[in-house]
Structure 1
Amino acid sequence: MKQVKQVGISLLLAFMLIMTVLPLTALGATPWAPNTAYKTGDVVTYSNNTYQCVQGHTSLNGWEPPNVPALWSKQTSAPDTQAPSAPTALASSNITTVSVKLNWTASTDNIGVVGYDIYNGTTLAGSSASASYTVTGLTANTTYSFTVKAKDAAGNVSPASAALAVLTASPVIDTQPPTAPTNVSAGTVTSTTVALTWTASTDNVGVVGYDIYSGATLVGSSVSTAYSVTGLTAHTTYTFTVKAKDAVGNVSPASAALSVLTTSPDTQAPTAPSNVTAGTITTASIALSWTASTDNVGVAGYDVYNGSALAGSTSSTSFTVSGLTANTPYTFTVKAKDAAGNISAPSASVSATTLPVSSTKYEIVGYFPSWAAYNTPAYTPANVDASKLTVINYAFLDICWNGRHGNPSTDPGNPNSATWTCQNEDGQTISVPNGSIVLGDPVTEGTGGGGGYENLKKLKQLKTTNPNLKLFASVGGWTWSNQFSNTAADPITRANFAASAVSFLRQYNFDGIDIDWEYPNNIGVPCASGQTCQRTQDKANYLLLLQTLRQELDKAGLQDNKHYYTTIASGASSSFVAEAGGTTNWISKAAQSLDWINIMTYDFYGPWDSSSNMVAPLYHDPSDPSGNTQFSVDYVVNMYLNKGVPASKLAIGEPFYGYGWKGCSAGPNGNGLYQSCSGEATGGSSGSTYDFAFLQSNGFLSKDVSGYYTIGGQGFTRYWNNTTKTPFLYNSTTQIFITYDDEQSIHLKNEYLKTKGLRGGMFWELNADSNKTLQTIVSNDLPH
């Protein structure tokens, strides 16, 4: 008896084990068989697994359930065979002539309702995932019977809801016309056009447009309350009326009639331009200007003739004729024209001869900033066109002091207060005496830190494309001028500086040293606490530093059979050339130790000023309300010349960037110039700085018919200040003002330096003109 009971318990446990392994559906499933018709929801077994049919079909050999998942779904639990409950509380709303919105109380389901089918009688009208649906495409004034069924994911469908009868709305027949338009009036009237406006009509449903009549003739239609009638005859009276219309074609009574007399045709030509004069003359261009013509209606522009050939057209009273031949006489006349095409008599002629081609060779100096390698995209020596340059100033190297370099000043004017150990090109810390020149960033200049940019090595490779290219290492700059005062103050550190300069030039096959001390006796970035960055004797010590450097470079040059150059970047202000610490004519004495001086004739004005102005005016503008007559290239160059610096030792700076102000009112001329602003703009290539390439690439500037970037974009208008000879941009909507230099202003600065007999031009910076637009102008203008 005990043994039988144990067997029974064993069978029960075995049955329970089977029940836990097999899905419940398997107990009622039949084995899968070929050539059998299966419908959705059927359950079969195959190879000890259970499958549920997901698509009705007749099975074939090869269509075994594991092989056709599109037909069979492997089951791990019992199939859902329970339908949702029927939707309830079916109701209607928003009944129109062609549609009705249905709402109902959601159904419930053991697993979940996935949607609803809506029936119009026995016809499926649509499906919805929510408990509402709008039935469309119905007929007006017609009764419909709607029901709704719920469904779940397994395809179980609920019973239909209770039927809901809905009567669609009867159509509304619009027979009411709009009111007649009022206050029809004429705006601008010409010999062939009349601009009409009127007060809008009203309608019980809505006005959709207006028809405009000349007498009984329909001349046009408008959806607004304005229309310009064209194709009229001059000096003729026309009578206009306007009618409004609605969507179903109801037309209003005509407005009160308006009689308009078109003007007589404009047959009067402008007066001839007067006082035509030739201004700036170059080897290939002559700038002309004249007194404006007058006209009974208005002058639309001027045509400039070179002999009998049209040289160009302009809407202003000046024009530069370009593409001329050097050392050749030309005769010009100007004619005015109006909008009707009437042309004035020619002006009196003016003759001028282009300059002969100069045999002078000029220096073209471009600064290459090391940090441009971090730009996106990176700017590297591979981006440089060496044929357009004579010198690349690599910026910046620094001075090592007590084993470190950098500027720890926490003043807001210091863009980088970090300091570093003095390192070689591999990023290894080195021990050098105070005053020694060291790499500023071994990551970009060598292989330090794994950067691998190797700018110094790759700059040297540019000499293969331009063997005459000279490479200078520029030391200091705005941020790293903090150790110049200490270095120049002591003969030992002066000697260290000169010796390290020679070592650098020899190691990297460079040709010169450029010192960018900003500024002796007046340091730009305030000094860090506890350090000394300026002295009263700085300018006298600067002379000693330059003399020491010149002596060492000449000594090394004799040994290496080459000339090593030395230049400085100098300030464009009277304070820079002024005497200090007992010096006498220090800047002309400095020039004796230098091959030339690069004057930083830019940043005269910027968003640090409260009013908009020019970053680098060539000449002073008497209408400039700032009252500073010293802020122009011309003033600064003459100041250096008057101090005794030879013209052949001066190069002027040309900015390849600009600055932006925000919150600048339009002012009386509508262009934002010389207006109070609320601060610096922030939409440039770097904050308020707008590189010329950025202005090009981002649509601020586009090409004119001559291929120059003189057309404003992005809501900006490009203006030209004919006194300062510089362009600017202004957006009257955003009130942003941008000062910059372009092809025209750079060209005029190049012509200026040639007429003054200067050494050449220097620009900051190469990457700001990554499209090489401005570099091409400089290269073409300055023989090199």
Structure 2
Amino acid sequence: MLTPRRPTPLRRALLGLAAALLTSGAAVGVAAPAHAAAGLTATFSSADNGSWYLDKYVIANPTSASITGWTLEFDLPPGVTMGSAYNGTATTSGGHVTVGNAHYNGTVPAGGTTEPYSFWFVATGSPAAPLNCRINGNRCDGGPDRAPGAPTGLAVTGRTTTTVALSWTAATAGDFPVASYDVYRGGALAASVTGTAATVTGLAPKTAYSFTVRAKDARGNASADSAAVSATTRDPAEDTTAPPAPGSLRTTGRTATSVSLAWNAVTDASGMAGYDVYRGATLATTVGPAVTAATVGGLSPLTAYTFTVRARDTYDNASPPSAAVTVTTDDAVGTGNYAKVGYFVQWGIYGRQFFVRNLDTSGAAAKLTHLNYAFTNLDPVNLTCMNGVTRGTTGNPQDPDQGTGAGDADADYARPMSAAQSVDGVADTGWEPLRGNFNQLRKLKAKHPRLKVLMSIGGWTYSKFFSDAAATPAAREKFVRSCVDMYLRGNLPAYNGAGGAGSAAGIFDGIDLDWEWPGAEGHPGNHWGAQDKANNTALLAEFRRQLDALGATTGRRYLLTAFTPADPAKIAAGWDIGASGVFRYLDFANVQGYDFHGAGSDNSWEPNRTGHQGNLYRDAQDPYPFEFSVERAIQTYLDAGVNPRQLTVGVAFYGRGWQGVTAGTAPGGGSAYGEWQSATGAAPGQFPEEAGTRGYANLLAAVPGCVVHHDAQSVSTYCYTGPGGQWWTYDDAWSLARKTAWTRERGLLGAMIWEMSGDTASGELMTALDGGL
């Protein structure tokens, strides 16, 4: 924990100067609040120092209880420039200034003030008081907010047998911009809109009604009512003839989640009321009589939808449906584009010294489309998403409890990042509610707004309790709700002064599920069984349901992806990839395209024979009776009917290596250079606990004399130091060029990378991948 700081001698001297100037009669004050405030107040003063002004805000607490935490906001007057600031953290956006309290003046006692450590700053230009001052969102003088003016010009613009259309003139703003309007039928709320027109529905035919409108600002302050208008709905007996069906319904555009439509206009002797657009038998949207186009949203990617349109006259007679048009929505990245999905590992900030900032400085962030944050764990008792703990994994990869209860909330959102570790070069103070990797992800997204960030759940050591969390409908609902609340609503657990309600809101754009593996053994000690296959599908369905429900309230669509196996046996055991299975709910799957062979850090895997870890095709020299290859893995999904634009190919930014490797003889004579040859175990790794594994950049630097070979038949890169030496299998620019070409040829969505810290500082592999896609 940081040690609380006190003002330095220089600060004390400046504060003393401020006090002297203020007591000399040079201050310009603001009158006290006209009435008792509900919270803190802030009083401004300015002292002339010749070439500059000492501008100061004293925060006061007129209530009977202490208040902890304050945020001061104001706008600088024209011509005033803000210099150095003291006793608070100030940020500016144009002329708008936001100040957070310092740790030593954040609590204002009942009846007290922040003196002698009130916020002040050096100003040049004039002693004019700042504008629009707010303290914790309230007026600095403690007075009530000024509400918007009442709307004017309310008029009836249309009627049907069950609806009345209204319009009005925009209201004048009070202290805050007008955000919405409430339409009242008599004294009952009938509609809420953001514009200056509304249609009130659900009315009785041939009935008189009275309407008024109120404006509301962003804080919910409401205006007085507008003048009332009256309208009588139409009598359906006066016109029973329907208008003709709209013609030439057509699609004018599509995205992964929407379809745009247009049609020809219809006329009717009684006048047109509008057009109703149907998705199948469901009313999707309604537009006005002068509009002959609409966009239907809330759709799923790569899904076929059928649309019709009906015209409706002012007597609510509906036409027959138009001719239908069927449209398939686009994939997650759009036709002609390719997904480039990278994993950022939580623990990379330690031994690897790989920070979110490195994604930016290497150029990778500008090339990636999606970034998956690895990983969050499952609570072993509550079977919910878990954060707020700091227990590390054990060093024994065969320990059944290696990942039980493990996590690192400090790295996630509590660790202050230095300026050198920060995306924008601004250090954390250590007192923000969001620090660590999550805050850096927020900064990265601000710099690269097209980048989507997902929270990955599980992974090799955190998948032990997936089977339990997915076992019943109630368990699934509880588990998914906890993940959505923690990472999409951003309600992180309080930890070392960080976290809290909404602290991570807006960072994550979806969920990536990394269950390794449903229906099959993964890490030692994992819970699994034959029931996992059906429960995995049900779990993804529950994620999709809750993500869509949240999206309906936020206006966003949240992504759902999964890491899926290359092994056909594991696919069959845990993944229903047929038409009624998991791909109904997934935006796309990242298919494992690596770790086909390796020695493992404890020599438990294949320590005695080398083998390619990510070959595109089966190697003709492969001595194993089973086949692992990218081609076979992807073909397994395609043969089941999975749309190729729902699949990315996994590539490795690291290598796997053996030592004590014999050279061997290649078919037709000559050296095999260690390919598929005997070995004595895993080669020394990048870290002592990771024998047999090195990041690409580390491999280049730490294994001198490793001569590179390219196997064109299987599309595999490997290097060999010579007889009895080390042999490493990995991807490089050569193999990535061929894999990305194959990805395009097969019409796949793109590529996924495990994981970003393995690349060089200049992003050599990411550049090659991006160039190929």
Q: Whose radius of gyration is greater, 1 or 2?
A: 1
TM-score by length of 2: 0.47
Q: TM-score, normalised by structure 1?
A: 0.47
